[in-house]
Amino acid sequence: MTLSKIERKIIEDSIRDIKDFPKPGIVFKDITTLLNDKEAYSVLMNHLYQRYKEYNLDYIAGIDARGFIFGAALAQMLGLGFVPIRKKGKLPYTTISEKYSLEYGVDEIEVHIDAFSKVKNAKVLMIDDLIATGGTANAAATLINQTGAECVEACFIIGLSFLDGIDNLKTKTDVYSLIEVN
């Protein structure tokens, strides 16, 4: 299931571009304007519900922090549990972690070791707002699979297809981005 032209326009028109943020030459895709636009947010969440209602998912995993907004709402709509994938040091119980490269260094995310344990071989949808170089998303997919669950698809509101993140992530899981920016 893909967005209709009207749905795509509603969502695209609700996303604000901010030039030179966080540094010169970058055009930041600000989704806060999508979130406070009740029509756009409703169109988005209804589309995601329609797309994933027949996937027989067990969990939605959202990547810290904007993936929480979409993931928790979608999990509630689908009647599923939600699992946060957090930056290192934010989860209170035993975790597993995965490091990934940044432009200037390394970062790390983690998930509770028992996050998906209520369902054997759990099918998990991973979600976040945007995929660029894909470092965080690749690390998150690795974490999900390391728990014994299966990351069946990674969903992003925006995919920056001029970078290699989508192609790299496709080696681990299916990828769906609602809006692709070339």
- Catalytic residues, by residue number, are 66, 103
Rounded Cα–Cα distance for residues 16 and 133 (Å): 20
C-beta separation of 131 from 159 below 8 A: yes
Residues 151, 128: contact at Cβ < 8 Å?
no
For residue 14 the two structure tokens come to 């609700």
SS3 26: coil
Which runs of E-coded beta strand occur in the chain? 16-19, 27-30, 59-63, 81-87, 95-102, 105-112, 123-131, 150-160, 174-181
141 contact partners, CB below 8 Å, separation of at least 6 = 126, 151, 154, 169, 172, 173
Q: Which element (helix H / strand E) includes 72? A: helix 66-78
